[in-house]
Amino acid sequence: MLKSPKSFEESVKSISEAFDSFSHALRINTEHLMRAPKLLRIDPQECARNLDQGLSAILNAFHSIYDAAKDDPRIVFEWNRTAPTATLLAIRNARHHNHANRIRSLETFFTRGSQAGRSKNYGLFTYGPPPEVGEPAFIQAISWEDTDALLNMPHKASHLSAERVATIYSYVGGEAMAAFASLQDARLPIFFDALPLIVNAAKAIVSVLGPHIKTLSVESETFLDHFKTSSWFLALIPLFDRHGLSCSKSKRAIAPTTRAHLAHVAALVGFHCLWAVQHLLKP
């Protein structure tokens, strides 16, 4: 029996609640990122778990927006053909179905027991214009090896069409990362920054779902406004050829200490959602 389509009011309610959860997940994850440098020195496993759970919460909340919107005939959007959303949904589904090592995060990769004693060097890529003040404020990187494995899985397992695989591979800069990896020691892991990909996907859906989103909190109001006005991350940038991850003295994240510095960093480099969280923290 066919389900009758949701009314506009029902659709707005479902999408708004999902977007609100997405906004809260972004805020909580950014708080984890802000605490990460200190916690990484004290308890690397807890730090890695917090960040991994934060990323999963974002991805699951994004999928909830997709679930709320996909069956509304008033919303015309090709989720699995639009590169930013197709990529984020594929990563989420891989984690949900335990495919390709669940697309490990950088911190998870280096703090699991099986990695004990190995070199902490890795290759790292992010997206956007070359930073003007050094490293991005926050980086939350995921494994290229795992992502590449996902894209090479049989369709029966991954449910990714050849067209979608090609779209994702091109979008994340797969050719450049594969070329870089081929010039390195085979044991050097390669990671790429997931945060700009989250921003791009959010911008893509906000441009379509705007009329269906009613803000339910300060978080959703702030992030909705931010995604409407922030810039796209497009260019792939190799940040470090070999960047050491040390649990005693990590440079994986920078924790700004003043509002002025927060605003400066958010305007020039790093995760655009940092601006929104800083805005939320204003007295």
Higher local confidence (pLDDT), 156 or 5: 156
Q: Say how far apart CA 78 and CA 80 lie, in whole Å.
A: 6
* Alpha-helical runs (H) found in 210-269: 218-229, 259-268
> What are residue 193's phi and psi, to 5 degrees?
-75, 120
pLDDT band at 262 (very low <50, low <70, confident <90, very high): very low
pLDDT over 80 at 266, yes or no: no
pLDDT at 264: 29
d(CA 265, CA 221): 22
% of residues, the chain, pLDDT over 70? 77
Q: Which residue has the higher pLDDT, 280 or 27?
A: 27
pLDDT digits (tens, 9 = 90+) for 164-197: 999 999 999 999 888 888 887 777 889 999 998 9
**3-state SS, residue 103:** coil
Q: Assess whether pLDDT exceeds 50 at residue 87.
A: yes
> What confidence score (pLDDT) does residue 115 get?
59
| Separation between Cα atoms, residue 129 and residue 173, nearest integer Å | 15
Task: Report residue 143 CA to chain centroid gap.
Answer: 12
- Write out the E strands in 128-185: 141-143
Q: What is the mean pLDDT of residues 267-276?
A: 34
Please check the confidence at residue 261 and state whether its pLDDT lies above 60: no
What is the per-residue pLDDT across 104-123, written as a single tens digit (0 to 9) for each? 998 888 887 665 556 778 88
Kindly tell me if the per-residue pLDDT of 237 is higher than 90. Answer: no
Question: How confident is residue 246, by pLDDT bands cut at 50, 70 and 90?
Answer: very low
Q: Is the dihedral of CA 147, 54, 32, 269 positive or negative?
A: positive
Q: What is the pLDDT of residue 187?
A: 75
Q: How far apart are CA 47 and CA 111, in angstroms?
A: 9
